[in-house]
Structure 1
């Protein structure tokens, strides 16, 4: 543990200070879950596995922010620490972390990946090595208050301009009627990976919009980007609170679920929470594809998701593989979908009658997933974190009013050219 402590900065060391020395800890340690019901679901599944096998497992919590979580993992893995056996990784991290992760083909049963979405498996495979077992998939969604749209005679917006106009109109009407805390739209505006996802949706929804194409060409310095960011900037302080500049997924959900927002951009996990018995808006929520960037634009939704990986430095790699196989099994994926709205990565589960009855949006979700926007992690490889940082920093500067749109977009293009150098 001393080696880990030496490697971690003070903030992360405080996070881990409660961990016992490995010699006195459980048989395995797993880092999983941070947002919504995710951590509790992981703990319950791990406890069930422990009872079945007789092995004990310690669950280590991590920061909500994906950016901070990645930094946490990089510190631990770079130190070649054996203190955490299994880590939960984002779909954009396999290329960055692959050298520190075990090839799961070595520890999983031969048929463990049968029936999984092939695209998910391909994304988790680096140089022929399966470094992450897909666990659940994500896609950005528009959540809306059905009751308020009906009350004011407004349809679900199909474009960002329509969303802006509807949000402004209903926000004003509700405030005049005494609902002083209502905002029109909340999203993930903090300078972190979540803002990268939002920005890619705004830009990608515009005709001809994009950040980096499949061939690695930089295309962000464009009228489409300027149009998207100009509109997004107009929201802050108007239909979105200034506080949105520090919102991650959970802050936005808190505002929406407490009945203080008309529209929200979030991931599918929020569905189970906003429909829970304690939710102030239970039964009043609908979901839809994120709006298009005008009539000639398209619905663009950033694809996400997470998988489970085994550290190369684990002292119990085979045992860790057994736990990964259990947690990612069809039974557990179905349970997580029913309880926490975490979308499975096994195709047959989308035809499961019980899931279809509980998740009325599943047919929509498949369509949204088909039109999804992938973050350019594959083409940019280990430079993706720098690409994402450049994007969310420049976009945050625009949203906060620190930088004009034209200047920020031009500088972002220059940033990406420096990061790319000759080739990605």
Structure 2
């Protein structure tokens, strides 16, 4: 689109926004009414900033450089936030609460959409300007709040079970589909002299967002739910108890080694790459890093992936990923919108997949044979995403995830019983989700 066309488009959007505002708004979180930092219209052009977690591959900066070379008057600067998802969220919220224009585009965890939209920290986006039918439907839904689009899915995520294929082959066992099979496979592999001191299984079990993900997966993989589609919590159940008990008993039996309760994504990735784990629940980004041939990985070419195991069969992943949203407080919203279109394009997502092995949100990329040949886990990943269960879609997500982490960590570390943890969690979640 030419510069003149973009200006005319922004003007039309501005007129439309005025008309809609005159018709009234349902208060649904930023679609209408005045917005700080330039109003509701997606107008204003100039330099922007992009707030995101750590760029471990360098490809994010590469794509930003491409944008900057084509938009010398609308350059983007990446602001790297802390490694922890919780710390990233806190930094973005702090900026929004003081109406800071430091950030223009926000790289949001998929579960933050409702909270940021309801608080009017991000603005509604024009659905008709994105070919959403070309994206994975579960990913698109994570960008909506009250049926309005507030964020565009750029990275999706589904949990995968990484396993040491070389060790399993030597021990004569298949990738486990159930938790009992996981235990049996670990026992068999650890009889090998080279695996005797290797940890069996780890996920993300430190007290942060990753624990909410892993707890939710365990509950869903035993047939339960944390918060239902009706918005009501339902964790004081046998299914939820079975899921949490898997994590609790696995830690007691040392199936999950002691060190693993301190693991976030990166700690676990480094442990797996160093040959310290037989099985690792992780996101797809680990594939490229663990296969690096520069000496940073001891397991390159020695592992594969499978679906997560569950109680009675293959498990259920929590739906992960990241969406790009526009801060309500940035003055250059038109530039921010075009940047999101650029970054969510099929070309940019293909580039990112090739560089990082992260899950794209464009459906067509999962069908390209060249990509499947290079990333043979793509069919497994697609199934993981399509069958994934979302984390609780609630406005007070920060409080909800903190309550989940407190209950799950207490049970896993033996501070409380499973029954006590879930009973207390049910009560707390009912308070936090009450209308």
TM-score range, shorter chain: 0.7 to 0.9
Deviation at 1:125, TM superposition (A): 2.4
**Change over 3 Å in CA distance of 1:148–1:298 after alignment to 2:** closer
- Residue of 227, 238, 256 corresponding to 1:240: 256
In the other structure, the counterpart of 2:283 is 267
In the other structure, the counterpart of 2:39 is none
Secondary structure of 2:129's counterpart equals: coil
In the other structure, the counterpart of 2:230 is 215
Asked if 2 retains the 8 angstrom alpha-carbon contact of 1:36 and 1:250, the reply is: no
TM-score (norm 2): 0.83
Deviation at 1:298, TM superposition (A): 5.0
In the other structure, the counterpart of 2:265 is 249
Secondary structure of 1:191's counterpart equals: coil
1:331 equivalent to 2:347? Answer yes
Deviates more, 1:278-287 or 1:329-338: 278-287
In the other structure, the counterpart of 2:13 is none
- Runs (5+) with no aligned partner, structure 2: 1-45
In the other structure, the counterpart of 2:408 is 395
Q: For residues 143-201 of structure 1, give each alpha carbon's deviation from its aligned partner in whole angstroms, at most 9, with x where no partner exists.
A: 00000001111111110121123224423x24xx3656410111101111111111111
In the other structure, the counterpart of 2:380 is 364
- Runs (5+) with no aligned partner, structure 1: 1-25
Deviates more, 1:143-152 or 1:211-220: 211-220
**Change over 3 Å in CA distance of 1:73–1:190 after alignment to 2:** same
In the other structure, the counterpart of 2:370 is 354
**Change over 3 Å in CA distance of 1:121–1:369 after alignment to 2:** closer
Query: Counterparts of 2:204 and 2:315 in 1: how far apart (Å)?
Result: 18
- Residue of 49, 60, 77 corresponding to 1:42: 60
Q: For residues 209-261 of structure 1, give each alpha carbon's deviation from its aligned partner in whole angstroms, at most 9, with x where no partner exists.
A: 22122123332112222222222122226122222122111100100011111
- Residue of 140, 151, 154 corresponding to 1:135: 154
- Residue of 292, 300, 303 corresponding to 2:310: 292
Query: Counterparts of 1:36 and 1:163 in 2: how far apart (Å)?
Result: 30
In the other structure, the counterpart of 1:14 is none
In the other structure, the counterpart of 2:125 is 104
- Residue of 162, 186, 189 corresponding to 2:181: 162
Secondary structure of 1:216's counterpart equals: coil
Deviates more, 1:320-329 or 1:237-246: 237-246
In the other structure, the counterpart of 2:396 is 383
Deviates more, 1:345-354 or 1:328-337: 345-354
Secondary structure of 1:236's counterpart equals: helix
Query: Counterparts of 1:167 and 1:100 in 2: how far apart (Å)?
Result: 47
Deviation at 1:109, TM superposition (A): 8.3
Query: Counterparts of 1:123 and 1:225 in 2: how far apart (Å)?
Result: 24
Q: For residues 24-52 of structure 1, give each alpha carbon's deviation from its aligned partner in whole angstroms, at most 9, with x where no partner exists.
A: xx922111232642xx2211110111112
Deviation at 1:282, TM superposition (A): 0.9
Deviation at 1:111, TM superposition (A): 4.7
Query: Counterparts of 1:185 and 1:35 in 2: how far apart (Å)?
Result: 27
Asked if 1 retains the 8 angstrom alpha-carbon contact of 2:226 and 2:233, the reply is: yes
Asked if 2 retains the 8 angstrom alpha-carbon contact of 1:299 and 1:371, the reply is: no
Give the aligned CA root-mean-square deviation in angstroms: 2.0
Asked if 1 retains the 8 angstrom alpha-carbon contact of 2:130 and 2:341, the reply is: no
1:231 equivalent to 2:251? Answer no
Secondary structure of 2:275's counterpart equals: coil
Secondary structure of 2:299's counterpart equals: coil
Secondary structure of 1:104's counterpart equals: coil
TM-score (norm 1): 0.85
Deviates more, 1:79-88 or 1:117-126: 117-126
Deviates more, 1:230-239 or 1:399-408: 230-239
